[in-house]
Structure 1
């Protein structure tokens, strides 16, 4: 009589997954960490995101100096001819930077499906994306001084030169995959390829559009990205205006105070990725980790913003909550924004682009809707704006918490056809 216990398919997959995690941990101990090629790649993308955001923000900050300048009147007229009439409003015109952001993001998303081992994916991805917050921080701190001391054109010259350096860095260090990289060590190449062997295949298959449209896990990511982007827009655009209207203090005119939220966001963005990977090493399921960091990056932030009108005259508390909300919001980068790599690594480049595009519709809708509310009811308008944010963000978050997944979906797996 056979006394061996027959394992169910689910139990077999679980044991196989645990064995793979153990093998990956053993291999990773022999491979360099921060000095490795994959972390160099993350730093290169970090710098490219830094300059991408810096060059977008620099236009908003120097626009006033350009308009008020008498020494460069000819250049001012040329620079503003092609911009919308309301583009002089500064940071509130976020949508005008979307084409440049979209082009910059599209190239980097394709890298992580081939370069990021599953238990380092959150860390590498967050290091790369944290360059956006650092770019906003540095530009906010320095552009005012540069414009005052050297003149506003030098702000473009300096950050343009940094952009050229980042371009050379990208050309020299970034390659499509570990196999094509000329300087990567054999051990690191084998580590990355073996860790991704169950996810990435070289075979090309058409996009399963119909299956994607019917996929609730995919829609949950898109909706949650939309809700999070609505949160980010209110944080960066409307809360400074709220503080100015309530306390008569324009924090945008204070370079240090304006840069603090971005500085904390930069730090917390990296910490969020480290936390997510740490939880994965403690045998947390991928879907659990993604939902935890997404929850931290959404619910507390929107709750802090809703509480602002009830704080009365506490200016210090208001600014502290604003900074804390900006910092915590970056945790979502290691959650919903990278989740498509978990559920569809084969199509991650396309899906990351669609999720970002879907999210950026919030950057267009939010200023329009909130502007309408502020014009209709000046007395209680801010409460309506903040409660609308909380409702949208919470509903999208709940949808993700219910339908979000962390395993590769059937429509994203390789179709293996056998001949009869």
Structure 2
């Protein structure tokens, strides 16, 4: 009896600890908490980020002059409505088949009424201004944002670790929004050069946003909620893209192309005020957080150091195969991501003859499906991990493979579908929707393996991946410049199909979910080892 007493005591204490843990978790789940406010405002922040990033993608459809037949020697011919380019060669862009699906009848009448009666002088002087930009110039304009974007990824992560992510994230969005307000005037005054410079500056400002929000997530997301919180935040990416594609089409038809830049800029100013008042760097700095929620969050964070500014272990980062697995997966996915976001409005307009409003809806639908599937998968993966049906790394690999192989299959469907609009739209939606599973894959992986360097790793990964943000539109522009045909688009779509499948194999082979030994400073890691001993 006496021999078993210590074991019984330990068992009782262990049971009490488990009960306390369960009670803490239940308290943390009760009601609306400050972490939920952070997620909602962070979500809206990403909605604005991507609306600001891709407002040009929908506006450029109306900003560019329709091609005349005299231009056919170097690029596609365009009909009078600027929706159906035709090649002079044997390979022709598809004839328009969707007139009966056009959504512009009602808004077209409203457009005429508003612009002719309310503000004809202002509208005619700027809103109907169009530009003679070649396909190559359009590719440069669409990619100009990313020249600046890749340069501030690492600084954004490092600044967030040192000074706190709240203002790094919000000021990046604020500056991007303010610059959006001046785009119409700058473009009309300085043409291509002016617009490229503004887009470059917008990229510099917005480059800090993703690394900084991941630093905040490492402080605010309990392990049991990490997948859901990450997906709700990053759901702003497809939702923001969808909003600008849908609303942008109607705004342009009603008020002209400058309206999309003005609306997104004004919305950013309003959001910034709410973020500044209601969100804080960490739970411990929040003046209105309850003790129960604070304890719940802090007791469910793993791997974070108590030091505020730790050195970046570059040698360990660059020699880590699990880190390289994240880098390469992100790089391969980026081509698909930016082709879907940047080029699809042009593809739907030129290949399938969609008008501006129809274009907006069909460009937005893939993003809405991406968001829906991403959130559903997040809840499912959190459930699977919490019940231990699958290990964390198996879950990450399954989600990553679904995203990359699914996107590849979707692009192949678009290629094989040719001029079949239904096949093209279904394949496009599948490719975009299945990509939403990536937020439960490699996107969240670095918070698990190196939470103290999550912003830095994210910054480097995005710098590498987002190089394709300007390379992909530029290469697509070069392909279509001299081959603006169905074959040209099929060649452009084949690149992400091959790349997505290839990079998934590296991630499957070398990814991990274990905290890396170099995550913590040497002194802190040594202290933990001695305590365990």
Equivalences for residues 29-178 of structure 1 within 5 A: 29-32=26-29, 35-62=32-59, 70-72=124-126, 76=184, 78-81=186-189, 84=192, 98-150=203-255, 152-178=257-283
Partner of 2:314: 209
Which residue is equivalent to 1:409?
516
Aligned-residue offset at 1:408: 0.6
Question: Aligned-pair distance for 1:213?
Answer: 1.0
Which residue matches 1:366?
Answer: 472
Greater shift in the superposed pair: 114-123 or 57-66:
57-66
How far did residue 84 of structure 1 move? 3.7
Unmatched 5+ residue regions in structure 1?
5-18
Partner Cα separation in structure 1 for residue 241 and residue 18 of structure 2: 37
Structure 1's 133 and 34: CA in aligned 2 closer, same or farther, altered over 3 A?
farther
Shift of 1:208: 0.8
Partner of 1:9: none
Question: Shift of the alpha carbon at 1:260?
Answer: 1.3
TM-score using structure 1 length: 0.83
TM superposition score normalised by structure 2: 0.67
Are residues 1:340 and 2:394 paired? no
- Residue 24 of structure 1 contacts residue 195 of structure 1 at CA under 8 Å; is this kept in 2? no
Q: Which has the larger radius of gyration?
A: 2
The equivalent residue for 1:349 is 455
Number of residue-to-residue matches in the alignment: 398
Name stretches of at least 5 consecutive residues in structure 2 with no aligned partner: 5-15, 66-122, 130-181
Deviation per CA, 1:119-145, whole angstroms, max 9, x where unpaired? 211111111111121112122222333
Does the CA-based 8 Å contact 2:241-2:341 persist in structure 1?
no
Match of 1:280 among 381, 385, 388: 385
Task: Provide closer, same or farther for how the CA distance between residues 307 and 95 of structure 1 changes in structure 2, counting only shifts above 3 A.
Answer: farther
Shift of the 239–57 alpha-carbon distance from structure 1 to 2, 3 Å rule, reads closer
| Aligned-pair CA distance for 1:255 | 2.6
Q: 1:149 Cα deviation (Å)? A: 3.5
The answer to whether the 8 Å contact 1:252/1:258 transfers is: no
CA shift digits 1:144-164 (9 cap, x unpaired): 333443455554443333212
Match of 2:403 among 274, 289, 297: 297
Mapped pair 1:398 → 2:395: no
2:304 to 188, 200, 209: 200
Structure 1 residues 380 and 314, CA gap change in structure 2 (3 angstroms): closer
User: Is the 8 Å Cα contact of residues 287 and 405 (structure 1) preserved in structure 2?
Assistant: yes
Matched residue of 1:337: which SS? helix
Cα distance in structure 1, aligned partners of 2:360 and 2:468: 27
- Residues of 2 paired with 1:218 and 1:310: CA distance? 35
CA offset digits 1:24-75 (Å, max 9, x no partner): 5553222236722212111110011111222233344345666785333898
Distance 1:211 1:365, change over 3 A: same
